[in-house]
Amino acid sequence: MLDQNKTPVFTAMKAYRERNVIPFDVPGHKHGRGLSEYKAYFGDAMLELDVNSMKPLDFLGNPTSVIQEAETLLAEAFGADRGYFIVNGTSFAVQTMIMATVTTGDKIILPRNVHKSAINALILSGAHPVFMEPELDSEMGVSHNITLDSLKKAYTAHPDSKAVLIINPTYYGAVSDLKTIVDFCHTHNMFALVDEAHGTHFHFNEKFPLSGMQAGADMSAVSLHKTGGSLTQSSALLLKETRLDGNYVRKVINLMQTTSPSYLLIGSLDVARKQLALHGHDMLNHILSVADYARNAINAIPGCYAIGKESIGRPGIFHFDPTKLSVTTRNMGLNGMELYDLLRDSYNIQMETGDVYNSLAILSLGDDFDHVDALIAALKDISQKHQNSRIDYPKIDLHFPEVVLTPREAFYAEKETIPLDETLGRISAESLMSYPPGIPVISYGERINASVIEQIKLFKTSHGILTGMEDPKANTIKVVK
Three-class HEC string of the chain: CCCCCCCHHHHHHHHHHHHCCCCCCCCCCCCCCCCHHHHHHHCHHHHHCCCCCEHHHECCCCCCCHHHHHHHHHHHHHCCCEEEEECCCHHHHHHHHHHCCCCCCCEEEEECCCCHHHHHHHHHHCCEEEEECCCEECCCCEECCCCHHHHHHHHHHCCCCCEEEEECCCCCCEECCHHHHHHHHHHCCCEEEEEECCCHHHHHCCCCCCCCCCCCCCEEEECHHHHCCCCCCCEEEEECCCCCCHHHHHHHHHHHCCCCCCHHHHHHHHHHHHHHHHHHHHHHHHHHHHHHHHHHHHHCCCCCEECCHHHCCCCCCCEECCCEEEEECHHHCCCHHHHHHHHHHHHCCCCCEECCCEEEEECCCCCCHHHHHHHHHHHHHHHHHCCCCCCCCCCCCCCCCEECCCHHHHHHCCEEEEEHHHCCCCEECCCEEECCCCEEEECCCEECCHHHHHHHHHHHHCCCCEECCCCCCCCEEEEEC
Task: Please compute, for residue 10, the number of CA atoms within 13 A of its CA located in the half-sphere on the CB side.
Answer: 14
Check whether residue 309 and residue 179 sit in a common domain. Answer: no
Residue-level pLDDT, tens digit, the chain, 481 residues = 899 999 999 999 999 999 999 999 999 999 999 999 999 999 999 999 999 999 999 999 999 999 999 999 999 999 999 999 999 999 999 999 999 999 999 999 999 888 889 999 999 999 999 999 888 888 888 889 999 999 999 999 999 999 999 999 999 999 999 999 999 999 999 999 999 999 999 999 999 999 999 999 999 999 999 999 999 999 999 999 999 999 999 999 999 999 999 999 999 999 999 999 999 999 999 999 999 999 999 999 999 999 999 999 999 999 999 999 999 999 999 999 999 999 999 999 999 999 888 999 999 999 999 999 999 999 999 999 998 889 887 766 667 788 999 999 999 999 999 999 999 999 999 988 765 565 788 889 999 999 889 888 887 877 667 777 888 888 999 999 9
Q: Are residues 377 and 344 in the same domain?
A: yes
> Which residue, among 94, 73, 81, 84, has the nearest Cα to 163 in the 3D structure?
94
Regarding whether 79 and 65 lie in a shared domain, the answer is: yes
Is 110 within 8 Å of 181 (Cβ atoms)? no
Residue 396 lies in a domain: no
Of 276, 306, 334, the last residue of a domain is 276
Residue 3 belongs to a domain: no
246 shares a domain with 287: no
Say how many CA atoms lie within 13 Å of 62 toward its Cβ.
2
Q: Is residue 108 part of a domain?
A: yes
Q: From CA 112, how far away is CA 110, in angstroms rounded?
A: 6
Instruction: Report the CATH number that the domain containing residue 461 is assigned in CATH.
Output: 3.90.100.10
Residues 290 and 313 in one domain: yes
**Do both 336 and 410 map to the same domain?**
no
pLDDT at 398: 64
Domains: count for the chain: 3
Residues 20 and 84 in one domain: yes
Considering the domain boundaries, does residue 390 fall inside one? Answer: no
Structural domain boundaries, residue 449: 402-480
Indicate if 178 and 272 belong to the same structural domain. yes
Looking at 261, 276, 291, the residue that finishes a domain is 276
Is 215 a member of any domain?
yes
Rg (CA), the chain: 23
Q: For residues 165 and 206, state if they share a domain.
A: yes
Q: At what angle do helices 116-125 and 90-99 cross, to 10 degrees?
A: 40
Going by C-alpha positions, the residue among 70, 84, 61, 83 that lies closest to residue 13 is 70
Task: Specify if 449 maps to a domain.
Answer: yes
So what's the pLDDT on residue 469?
81
Q: Tell whether 442 and 355 lie within a shared domain.
A: no
Cα–Cα separations (whole angstroms), residue 337 to 222, 353, 460, 462, 470: 27, 8, 11, 7, 23
Q: What is the CATH number of the domain that holds 347?
A: 3.90.1150.150
CATH number for position 138: 3.40.640.10
Contact 210, 222 (CB under 8 A): no
Specify if 397 maps to a domain.
Answer: no
Phi and psi of 237, rounded to 5°? -115, 130
Cα 211 from Cα 178, distance rounded (Å): 8
Helix pair 246-256, 90-99: axis angle to 10 deg: 120
Residue 391 lies in a domain: no
pTM strictly above 0.85: yes
pLDDT at 435: 56
Q: What is the Cα–Cα distance from 202 to 347, expressed in whole angstroms?
A: 31
- Burial label, 18 (beta-carbon count in 10 A; 0-12, 13-18, 19+): exposed
Verify that 379 and 451 share a domain, yes or no: no
How far is it, in rounded angstroms, from Cα 115 to Cα 141?
Answer: 17
Distance CA 442, CA 439 (A): 9
CB 79 within 8 A of CB 203: yes
Q: Which of 227, 259, 276 delimits the end of a domain? A: 276
**Could you tell me if 228 and 368 lie in one domain?**
no
